[in-house]
Amino acid sequence: MNKNKVKNLVLDHIIEILLILLVIVMAIASPNFLTVNNIMNILRNQALKGVIAFGMTMVIIAGQIDLSIGSQVALAGVIIARFCRDLPASGMSLTAACLLGILVAIIIAVLMGFIHAFAQHKFGMPAFIVTLATLNAMYGLAGMICGGFPIANVFPQWFLNIGVGRVAVVPVPAIILIVVFLIAHFVMTYTTTGRSIYAIGGNTEAARLSGIRVFKTKIVVFASVQVMCVLSAIMHSAQVASGSYSFGKGWEVDVISSVVVGGTSMAGGIGKPWGTLMGVLFMGVVINAMTILNVDIYAQYVVRGCIMAFAVLMATFQSKAKA
Amino acid sequence: MSVLRTEKISKQYPGCLALDQVTASFESGKVNALLGKNGSGKSTLVKCFAGAIQPTSGSFYLDDKELHFASTGEANAQGFATVYQEMSLVPSLTVAENIFLGRMPKKGVLIDWKKANADAAKLLDKMGVSINPKEIVSRLSMWQCQVVEITKAMSYNPRVLMLDEPTSSLATNEVESLFGVIRELKKQDIIIIYISHKLHEVPQITDTITVLRDGQLIGKVNTADVTNADIVNMMFGETQIRALPDDVRPQEEVVLEVKDLCRKDKFRDVSFSLRKGEVLGIAGMLGAGRTELLKSIFGADPYDSGQIFVNGEEVPRNASLVDRKKLGLGLTPENRKIEGLILIHSIRDNLCYASMDKTADGWLENRGRRAAAAEKQVKELEIKIPDINAPISSLSGGNQQKVVVGNWLNTEPQIMLYDEPSRGIDVNAKQQIFEIMWAQAKKGISTIFVSSELEELLEVCHRIIILKEGRIIGEVTPDEVNINQLYALSMGDKTNE
């Protein structure tokens, strides 16, 4: 009985244990690893995809998927950049133009989330296909809006600070990452919406017959992940001081990896924002470690792929071991 | 002519003797009905013949040759073929591919399509039907699928063909077409065992009737010699029906009134009323529209016309399930694992999904209140659990069913709809579920109870309405009828009282 408890405890916290082990190994291997500066770098680098990962966690727990996130990052980035470039010419202040751009980007993101939920729920189209379609469409839209070239040096200073600023030693994106985690954790644990997300992911029909609003809940999760893409786009644009259609390309792989490594089940119904935070940090540390150790960039992709496969293998093993 | 004979065949399951020294025989060239209510042992016997299970003692013989099957493969090799009621065809493949699934004729490494189609055509021809072997199975009608299924079984040249509820998914006019095929099969020298719960089909298609009850052989008769009433008597025997407790009495006040409710192809012109604290049963055969009716009243499925009144106020037709939940309606669905529970979640969560809005403060969870609601049901319904955080899948069927019920009782419902709550749970658990219904009735909760087990309806309900092909064809009280009469009524067999 006690042995079983220990076994389950280890199985439940496998990602935390691996993360700690990895940090210890790296701390011994390189004196440059365990420095405040490096840790802050990891957090800042992971923030962009990390905030999306929390939205994706909700989507996956609800039993759905969103592959279009990368294109939404691009789309939101170029929309805000266009507003900042074009509106001040007609007399609007740069700050107002920028805020308006952000607002429009958020509205479009919510709309896209609604379209995804509508197509999946009302027409029974697989979310995989729906969001694959909008991945293409939004990529094209982003290219049309920016004219195929990055829109650079148009943002106000306060906007740039969202990407590169620091509060004391902590980068602003790292703070945003933690705040988003706390919100996601709060929503999933302490609200009826969160409970509903788990329920529809666990068994949609049982949830429906229990009087849970399935469609409304799907809209919330699909819209949340898209809005997180806008937040990510803001940080990304601010860091590179431009907006471009090429932002976010291929991010869906890294984002879904972090979620899965964090223990969220692709079958839906199971998962935690805490796990995703661990997944995001784990992937960050792995990438950082490989960079410090001078691992070839292509080899890094091989390692990342292997980690994702390993995580899924672990999850399968975990559910079997517990049964 | 060949004979399949069993001698004192018994099957002991832990705590249950499913077959008790059954000695029976089935002849070739005839359609032999094997009848019995749920749990009578007829499926167990068929499983022994199919090699799916092995008898504990006793033996069976085909033409005096004793047979032992360690697996279904061995049974097949000895010429025993079974057609199960669940379709086992691959809908996206052609008829010929389905018939020769896994053993398509080949030319070298390539599939010999010409031969496959020609062979399939020959087999189908023998059945006396014209089905194109190149047709995709999903485009066939239900009875044609059933025929393809039988053709597939026949392609192994069986000596014994077992048909398990072959008409259960067929429409009335399709049944006759299938019977044509079965009559054609009779001309071949094979033993056909026909299992059905549709009693009215039995005289049409079978030649002999073998009846099991509680694992024992009750008798074998020639179909021509008996009436339906005789068969029902053999199936049910003298049943002792326990009476409803005296203190569970309906009050005068009508809480639910259904007027002329219609849903295309499901049910028509259904009208009834339900009083406060009343337990109303709905009897009817499979496919009579019982589940569909409950789901429409509950708002889980739409309906085309008609009115529903709760406490005298009309419920708008477009009122959602969520709206109806607020009016005090609750439903425990027919299939608890697929529709009733979230198997990967904990017992506590499963007890609190329906009542989520009630236990929360607006959109904020109140974890204390949620935990208390779960604990309350565990205690009141006497749900046996290892730990309230354990996954629901760790519980027995009876306790799982109690969780489904508890999930709804937490919403403090006024009208509870139970769809087959006793399916797949043991006798004690059944009794406990009934006692829960009565306890709730005493508190003034009204109940609609759907069950395929007619004894249960007689035992639990104040009043029973009978549904047949989507229409109400009668209403009885348990003291007016016995089980045989209720069975005959549900079959729509008015001549047989």
Residue A203 has pLDDT above 60, yes or no: yes
**Which of the four pLDDT bands, split at 50, 70 and 90, describes residue B393?**
confident
Looking at residue B241, its pLDDT comes to 65
A4, A61, A209, A212: best mutation site toward chain B, by most B Cβ within 10 Å? A209
Instruction: Determine the residue type at A146.
Output: C
Better pLDDT: A54 or A320: A54
Residue B90 main-chain phi, psi, to 5 deg: -95, 110
Looking at residue B8, its pLDDT comes to 93
- Which pLDDT tens digit goes with each residue over B84-120? 876 788 999 999 999 998 889 999 889 999 999 999 9
CB-closest option in B344, B363, B365 to A269: B344
DSSP string for residues in B95-118: HHHHHTTT---EETTEE-HHHHHH
**Which of the four pLDDT bands, split at 50, 70 and 90, describes residue A321?**
low
- Which pLDDT tens digit goes with each residue over B261-288? 999 989 999 999 999 999 999 998 777 8
What average pLDDT does this structure show over A196-207? 96
- Which pLDDT tens digit goes with each residue over B159-206? 999 998 888 777 777 888 889 889 988 888 899 999 887 777 888 899
ipTM given for this complex: 0.87
Q: d(Cα A200, Cα A243) in Å, to the nearest integer?
A: 37
Q: d(Cα A50, Cα A178) in Å, to the nearest integer?
A: 9
Degrees, nearest 5: CA angle B377-A213-A190: 65
Q: d(Cα B307, Cα A295) in Å, to the nearest integer?
A: 72
DSSP string for residues in B357-379: HHHSBTTB--HHHHHHHHHHHHH
Domains of chain B: 3-236 (3.40.50.300), 254-490 (3.40.50.300)
Residues forming beta bridges with residue B27, ordered by sequence position: B3
Residue B488 has pLDDT above 90, yes or no: no
The SS3 of residue B237 is: coil
Residue corresponding to tokens 């549900």: B490
Residue B495 has pLDDT above 70, yes or no: no
Looking at residue B489, its pLDDT comes to 86
Are A206 and B300 in contact (CB < 8 Å)?
Answer: no
Looking at residue A8, its pLDDT comes to 78
Taking phi first (over 0 means left), then psi (-120 to 50 degrees means alpha), and beta for anything else, what does residue B288 get?
A: alpha
A192, A196, A210, A220: best mutation site toward chain B, by most B Cβ within 10 Å? A210
Q: Which residues of A touch B325 (CB under 8 A)?
A: 211
Are B338 and A198 in contact (CB < 8 Å)?
Answer: no
Sorted by sequence, the CB contacts under 8 Å of residue A305 that are 6+ apart come out as none
Q: d(Cα A290, Cα A300) in Å, to the nearest integer?
A: 7
Beta carbons within 10 angstroms of residue B219's beta carbon: 13
Looking at residue B199, its pLDDT comes to 78
Q: Which residues of A touch B333 (CB under 8 A)?
A: 206, 209
Looking at residue A39, its pLDDT comes to 94
**Which of the four pLDDT bands, split at 50, 70 and 90, describes residue A104?**
very high
CB A285 within 8 A of CB A23: yes
Kind and range of the H or E run holding B208: strand B208-213
pLDDT-wise least confident of A129-143, B172-186, B446-460: B172-186
Better pLDDT: B40 or A21: A21
- CATH 1.10.287 for domain A36-322: no
The SS3 of residue A85 is: helix
Nearest C-alpha neighbor of A277 from the set A44, A77, A47: A47
The SS3 of residue B269 is: strand
The SS3 of residue B256 is: strand
Looking at residue B113, its pLDDT comes to 93
For strands B3-13 and B16-22, give the pairing: antiparallel
Are A203 and B322 in contact (CB < 8 Å)?
Answer: no
Tokens of A94: 């740069």
Distance of residue A184 Cα from the nearest chain B Cα, in angstroms: 14
Q: Which residues of A touch B363 (CB under 8 A)?
A: 191-193
**Which of the four pLDDT bands, split at 50, 70 and 90, describes residue B496?**
very low
The SS3 of residue B271 is: strand
Q: d(Cα B439, Cα B416) in Å, to the nearest integer?
A: 13
Q: d(Cα B142, Cα B144) in Å, to the nearest integer?
A: 5
Distance of residue A67 Cα from the nearest chain B Cα, in angstroms: 26
**Which of the four pLDDT bands, split at 50, 70 and 90, describes residue B239?**
low
Q: Which whole-number Å values give the CA distances from A314 to A259, A317, B338, B364, in the listed order?
A: 14, 5, 27, 34
Are B353 and A203 in contact (CB < 8 Å)?
Answer: no
The SS3 of residue A220 is: helix
What average pLDDT does this structure show over A205-214? 95
Looking at residue A1, its pLDDT comes to 55
Q: d(Cα A278, Cα A308) in Å, to the nearest integer?
A: 14
For strands B208-213 and B31-35, give the pairing: parallel
Q: Which residues of A touch B365 (CB under 8 A)?
A: 189-192, 194-195
Residue B306 main-chain phi, psi, to 5 deg: 105, 170
CB-closest option in B344, B354, B363 to A202: B344
Residue of A nearest to B364 (CA): A191
Looking at residue A302, its pLDDT comes to 93
Tokens of A88: 């001040």
Q: d(Cα A184, Cα A180) in Å, to the nearest integer?
A: 6
The SS3 of residue B310 is: strand
What average pLDDT does this structure show over A220-233? 98
Q: Which residues of A touch B394 (CB under 8 A)?
A: none
Q: d(Cα A201, Cα A64) in Å, to the nearest integer?
A: 8
Tokens of B163: 């048909």
Are A191 and B342 in contact (CB < 8 Å)?
Answer: no
Residue of B nearest to A205 (CA): B339
Are A211 and B342 in contact (CB < 8 Å)?
Answer: no
Q: What is the mean pLDDT of chain B?
A: 89
Residue B424 has pLDDT above 80, yes or no: no
pLDDT more than 70, % of chain A = 98
Looking at residue B497, its pLDDT comes to 37
Q: d(Cα A202, Cα A214) in Å, to the nearest integer?
A: 12
Q: Which residues of B touch A196 (CB under 8 A)?
A: 356
What average pLDDT does this structure show over A33-57? 96
Model pTM?
0.83
> Domain coordinates of chain A in residue numbers?
36-322
Instruction: Determine the residue type at A196.
Output: S
CB B341 within 8 A of CB B303: no
Q: d(Cα B433, Cα B405) in Å, to the nearest integer?
A: 9
CB-closest option in B325, B338, B342 to A199: B342
Q: Which long-range contacts link A314-319 to residues 24+ away (Cβ below 8 Å)?
A: A314/A14, A315/A260, A315/A263, A315/A265, A318/A11, A318/A14
Q: What is the mean pLDDT of chain A?
A: 94
Q: Which residues of A touch B411 (CB under 8 A)?
A: 211
Pseudo-torsion of CA B445, B450, B453, B454, nearest 10°?
80
What average pLDDT does this structure show over B199-225? 90
